[in-house]
Amino acid sequence: MSGAFAPLLGSASGSRFFDALMAAAQRGDTGQIARGNVGQAQGAHDSEQFWSSFGSSLTPASDQGNRTRGLFSKKKPDATAGALDRQIDFFQYDTTNNTLRFATSIEPKELLDYNGDVQASLGVNGFRMSAEDRAQFQQLQSAQLRIDVVQTKSLIQDVLDPMAWTSLASLFPDSSGSLPPMQNLSFDPGAASQKMKQVILPGGSGQWAVNLSMAHKESAFVGILKTVSSAVGKFAPIVGLPQIGVEALQGFSQMYGAFEQRTTFLINSFPQLAFATQQARTAGATQQGVNLVPGDYILVPHAYTAQLTPHLDSVELRQGYLVPKGSPTNTSIMDLALALKPDITYLSATFGIKPIMPATAGPNPSTT
């Protein structure tokens, strides 16, 4: 697992995270709950199993014993390792008619017509919890947001491995123990590292995953996070790992799960194949994966999808939050979002894309 630590040493925050991990390992309190507080505090899900399966799903394909530096293998992650009812359903906000739609309905012809590499960006605009999930947060008193973006092929074939970008943030309540105001629940992965703003997807495709979980405030893992950042009332960056190799991401993921051990997932996903250009979708020669156009997305745990689906035409997106369509503009958006029915948990995000190299076919629009 030693290779997992190398990416951490490239930044001050990563070094602090590394030092805290080593100190916890020496104390032998990995994954433990302080003062013997066990039971539900341990978390509903097996984090160690999930992150081990997460990493193994990124194993590059092999060709007669030689590692290729092209597309990933077809190996599927162990679905039982995650929280099935918390797996993400992706909705895109269609600005042409101000309605939500399943991202699976985005047609290939809507993608950027560009035969080259692209630069992608991903920002979190807001996070809303249902009353049930807020009650869990009140009990556990912490949340962790992790965003991973992974190349599906190398930028330089036969020279470099596919690269990955990982950003980790924490959320702690204020002194009252309450969930922070929703207007504070945005997050820019670039806050963890400026290089997180420069995610390059060779050929126009990649994989991405968003995971939001809650480990108990008294766990050794949360204690480790607090040594890096003790900021409260917002998503505070813990560490950013930009442009690390896939093997390094595998090692980091296994280490992450080994230290966390148990958690309660609110939003859970394995790496999801995504296409940003028409040419990438054609070259992928697969029905799997989601088409991504620039714009706003709502990430909904599957447990809440059935509740949201009948309301896709009756809600609109304002400042990263869903509100009833036609709501008065002089009413607080946060009040409207909090009172929204159905009462669901979701995370809103903006996906951006722009060409970074001359195209060899098709027009060369620049969209963000």
Quick one: which of 159, 200, 149, 162 has its CA closest to 70? 162
Task: Classify residue 187 as exposed, middle or buried by CB count within 10 Å of its CB (0-12, 13-18, 19+).
Answer: buried
Over 13-43, what HEC string results? Answer: HHHHHHHHHHHHHHHCCCCCEHHHCCHHHHC
Residue in this structure with the two tokens 């074939």, named with its chain if needed: 157
- The model's confidence at residue 95, banded by pLDDT at 50, 70 and 90, is very high
pLDDT tens, residue by residue, 99-151: 999 999 999 999 999 999 999 999 999 999 999 999 999 888 899 999 999 99
In contact, 46 and 83? CB cutoff 8 Å: no
Q: Would you give the DSSP letter of residue 62? A: E
- Quote the mean pLDDT of the chain: 83
Neighbour tally for 88: CB within 10 Å:
24
Burial per residue of 125-149, b for 16 or more beta-carbon CB atoms within 10 angstroms, e otherwise: bbbbbbeebeebbeebbbbbbbbbb
Q: Which residue has the tokens 């059935």?
A: 306
Phi, psi of 100 (to 5 degrees): -90, 150
> In the structure encoding, which two tokens stand for residue 117, read together?
């590499």
Using pLDDT thresholds of 50, 70 and 90, give the confidence band for residue 218.
Answer: confident
For a pLDDT cut of 90, what percent of the chain falls above it? 49
* Angle subtended by helix axes 246-260 and 12-27, to nearest 10: 40
pLDDT surpasses 80 at 96: yes
Average pLDDT over residues 68-91: 71
Kindly report each contact of residues 99-106 with a partner whose C-beta sits within 8 Å and lies 24 or more positions away, as own/partner. 99/312, 99/313, 99/316, 100/298, 100/308, 100/312, 100/313, 100/315, 100/317, 100/322, 101/312, 103/290, 103/291, 103/292, 103/297, 104/290, 106/290, 106/291, 106/292, 106/293
